[in-house]
Amino acid sequence: MLYYLFEYLQENFDVRGASLFQYISFRSGGAIILSLLISMVFGNRIIRSLKRLQVGETVRDLGLKGQKEKEGTPTMGGFIIILSIMVPCLLFTRLDDIYIILMIITTLWLMLIGFADDYIKVFKKNKQGLKSTFKLIGQIGLGLLIAISMLFHDDIVVRVPYDEAVEKGYEITESFETVISTVNNQPKRQKVAYVKSTVTNLPFIKKNLLEYESLVSIVTDNPKKWAWLVFIPLCIIVVTAVSNGANLTDGIDGLATGVSAIIAATLVVLAYVSSNSIAAEYLNILFIPKSQELVVFAACFLGACAGFLWHNCYPAKVFMGDTGSLTIGGIIATMALLLRKEWLIPFLCGIFLVENVSVMMQVSYFKYTKKKYGEGKRIFKMSPLHHHYQKSGMHESKIVTRFWIVGILLAVFTIITLKVR
């Protein structure tokens, strides 16, 4: 909203300083500051309201040290995160941008699913919460929406050399002459095109690109027509896996929040280099036109996570609940897909991945040993993995700090992969 306001003031009244809102860096910085302030200032009011409504966490006795002390701590604190994202987003981004529209839909969509789960747990006293079938349907629906939008919306395109676009038969939406720089910094005039394609960035390989249509070319003579058979399921898997991974990671004070803040900071970098033609050319990654607003949204997300950590760090005054954890996971997944960086998720979201895998290993091994030996055995003392360390006697603050350090290492490695071939 502020973007349009100051654009109007500049065009009609030549207001000094109004042009600042044309700059992504200025709006991103403002978004982070406002997100932090909203979290810190309004967070306490929301926490008091949750306490007044008796929206307290019911803690199962899992034999973990300090667990009973958390009994009654307000949950559904994810509303603080969502408020801190949405208000700066509405103020600092261009709301007619398809990427921002999809991010807003993702945030509200998964917020509703998470809220339904928390509501059933807290007010209906059903510890199981929303049935996993309904959660899965919601996640699949969101993944399907993201995939269809990327496949068919006219504004979601990538830039490739014009000759390559013609050779491969891409659907060209726009073409023009541009001056780019080669590796040797020598100016070179090259015709490029904006095209509809399922092409994405794939780390560690030459040209850093993968075309999903190539995966179906062995079974059909018209791979472009059937590329959606691979792309749509992939989007669904990414959204489901990352949102559930964030949900599983939310088990100790500050763990999911801190890890998500680190991921959000990395997404700011990925969004900036992907939406900047010079940076994208230098890194030899896909330039994604019109995606610069994702930098501002990622900044909102970073500020919201960092601000929520003010209340969620040990000892937590509030838990985010599924209202928050499902939402932050969905935001990360959707942004990675829109930036064509979904193959970086195993590194970027390595903590979420390990937490997910630890649960799968634990459950699978228990069922296997129970069937074979009549008695179920476990790989970990408890899953997800952070509970294993708790059971081993490690204080949760130390666990969280070490997970954050690993998260920072993974974030740096993720950025490095942009240049590794």
Per-residue pLDDT for 65 more than 90? no
Tell me the average pLDDT across 252-262: 96
pLDDT of res. 45: 93
Per-residue pLDDT for 229 more than 60? yes
Integer Cα distance of 233 and 21 in angstroms: 38
Integer Cα distance of 247 and 256 in angstroms: 8
Cβ distance 76 to 289 under 8 Å? no
Return the minimum-mean-pLDDT range out of 7-11, 42-46, 159-163.
Answer: 7-11
Per-residue pLDDT for 196 more than 60? yes
Cβ distance 336 to 241 under 8 Å? no
pLDDT of res. 15: 81
Return the minimum-mean-pLDDT range out of 48-62, 154-168, 241-255, 308-322.
Answer: 48-62
Amino acid at 4: Y
Return the minimum-mean-pLDDT range out of 156-165, 271-280, 303-312.
Answer: 156-165
pLDDT, tens only, 101-123 = 999 999 999 999 999 999 999 88
Tell me the average pLDDT across 144-160: 94
Integer Cα distance of 310 and 40 in angstroms: 7
Per-residue pLDDT for 409 more than 70? yes
pLDDT of res. 11: 80
Tell me the average pLDDT across 200-210: 87
Q: Which run of H or E residues covers position 38?
A: helix 24-52
Mean pLDDT, all residues of the chain:
90
Integer Cα distance of 421 and 414 in angstroms: 13
pLDDT of res. 161: 83
Long-range residue pairs from 169-176, CB within 8 A, at least 24 positions apart, any chain: 169/224, 170/195, 170/196, 170/197, 171/195, 171/196, 171/197
Q: Which pLDDT band, with edges at 50, 70 and 90, does 1 fall under?
A: confident
Cβ distance 270 to 302 under 8 Å? no
Residue 199, φ and ψ in degrees, nearest 5: -60, 145
Integer Cα distance of 259 and 329 in angstroms: 11
Please provide the size of the chain in residues.
Answer: 421
Q: Which pLDDT band, with edges at 50, 70 and 90, does 193 fall under?
A: confident
Q: Which pLDDT band, with edges at 50, 70 and 90, does 215 fall under?
A: confident
**Greater pLDDT, 374 or 185:** 374
pLDDT of res. 188: 66
Return the minimum-mean-pLDDT range out of 120-129, 179-188, 361-370, 387-396.
Answer: 179-188
Nearest in space to 330 (alpha carbons), one of 129, 155, 113: 113
Report the predicted TM-score, pTM, of the whole model to 2 decimal places.
0.94
pLDDT of res. 26: 94
Q: Which pLDDT band, with edges at 50, 70 and 90, does 231 fall under?
A: very high
pLDDT, tens only, 334-380 = 999 999 999 999 999 999 999 999 999 999 999 999 998 988 999 99
